């Protein structure tokens, strides 16, 4: 005997609710296989569930769409921060700047390597250090670093910072939408369970196969076990051969 499988995804839940709603509208109450009180629950709840699904999908879509732009801005900021540090190191190699000049930017005097710039936190940290350090150098009447200047680096850095904050907002929106949708699943499952239980109860006097076929018209989902699949297929083959 196949067993009933309740929906376990939001798409499947929506499909089950929609099927019950359509049946409730199409079939007169006295012929409907589930109660009017359950139908009213479906009718009342379905729009809220659909809205939550739409908002989650939209929030995810916005995040993905803006993420492509964000990555471009992030790469630009990384490049300018990296180039600025390289220019400082090359100026020290040429003797145009002293090694102690690195201390303005929060680096050790003998720090010749590029710092890690792999994460957003790295970019934020080094962007702040470079801007602050160059302002200190200017305050000490030292020649500004050029190609790129700190003004150009600041523009790229602030563009990245704005994009970073916006992307975090989009991530929070998506997380909030997901949590709201998740909070509705318990009630969704309870409504579907009521519908399916009432449908099966209505058709309880029918044979197992008739009951299953009638119930499937209301969206109930049944799964055959492996041995049942083999039996069912064998019966079908026998019928074909008999014909």
- In 3D space, the residue among 169, 171, 76 whose CA is nearest the CA of residue 117 turns out to be 76
The total number of structural domains that make up the chain: 1
Which tokens hold the place of 96?
């145009």
Confidence of residue 1 (pLDDT cuts 50, 70, 90): low
Question: What mean pLDDT is reported for the chain?
Answer: 92
Long-range contacts of 148-152 (CB under 8 A, 24+ apart): 148/80, 148/83, 148/84, 148/87, 150/84, 152/80
Confidence of residue 109 (pLDDT cuts 50, 70, 90): confident
Which H helix or E strand runs over 25?
helix 10-26
Per-residue pLDDT at 227: 67
Contact 221, 5 (CB under 8 A): yes
Question: What is d(CA 83, CA 75) in angstroms, rounded to the nearest whole number?
Answer: 12
Q: Is the pLDDT of residue 128 over 60?
A: yes
Per-residue pLDDT at 228: 61
Condensed to tens digits (0 to 9), the pLDDT of residues 144-157 reads 999 999 999 999 99
Mean pLDDT of 99-123: 90
Per-residue pLDDT at 204: 95
Per-residue pLDDT at 240: 42
Q: Is the pLDDT of residue 232 over 80?
A: no
Q: Is the pLDDT of residue 243 over 50?
A: no
Q: Is the pLDDT of residue 34 over 70?
A: yes
Q: Is the pLDDT of residue 29 over 50?
A: yes
Confidence of residue 237 (pLDDT cuts 50, 70, 90): low
CA 82, 94, 150: angle at the middle one, nearest 5? 35
Question: What is d(CA 199, CA 214) in angstroms, rounded to the nearest whole number?
Answer: 9
**Of all residues in the chain, what percent carry a pLDDT higher than 70?**
93
Per-residue pLDDT at 171: 96
Confidence of residue 111 (pLDDT cuts 50, 70, 90): confident
Which tokens hold the place of 103?
């201390």
Per-residue pLDDT at 230: 47
Mean pLDDT of 82-104: 93
Q: Residue 76: give the domain boundaries.
A: 3-242
* pTM reported for the whole predicted model: 0.78
Helix/strand/coil for 145: coil
| Alpha-carbon dihedral angle through residues 88, 93, 95, 98, given to the nearest 10 degrees | 60
Per-residue pLDDT at 112: 82
Helix/strand/coil for 83: helix
Mean pLDDT of 139-147: 93
Contact 51, 223 (CB under 8 A): no
């Amino acid at each position: 005997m196949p067993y009933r499988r309740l929906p376990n995804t939001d798409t499947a839940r929506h499909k089950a609710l929609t099927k019950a709603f359509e049946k409730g509208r199409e079939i007169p109450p006295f012929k409907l296989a589930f109660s009017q009180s359950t139908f009213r629950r479906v009718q009342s709840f379905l729009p809220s569930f659909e809205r939550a699904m739409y908002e989650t999908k939209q929030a995810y879509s916005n995040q993905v769409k803006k993420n492509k732009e964000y990555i471009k801005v992030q790469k630009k900021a990384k490049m300018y921060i990296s180039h600025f540090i390289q220019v400082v190191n090359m100026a020290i190699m040429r003797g145009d700047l002293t090694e102690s000049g690195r201390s303005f930017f929060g680096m050790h005097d003998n720090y010749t390597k590029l710092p890690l710039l792999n994460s957003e936190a790295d970019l934020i940290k080094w962007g702040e250090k470079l801007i602050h350090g160059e302002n200190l150098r200017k305050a000490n009447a030292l020649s500004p670093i050029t190609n790129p200047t700190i003004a150009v680096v600041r523009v790229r850095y602030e563009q990245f910072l704005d994009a970073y904050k916006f992307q975090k907002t989009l991530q929070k929106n998506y997380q909030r939408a997901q949590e709201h949708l998740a909070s509705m699943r318990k009630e969704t499952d309870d409504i579907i369970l009521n519908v399916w239980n009432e449908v099966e109860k209505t058709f309880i006097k029918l044979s197992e196969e008739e009951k299953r076929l009638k119930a499937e018209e209301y969206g109930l989902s049944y799964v055959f076990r492996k041995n049942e699949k083999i039996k069912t297929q064998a019966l079908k083959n026998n019928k074909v051969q008999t014909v």
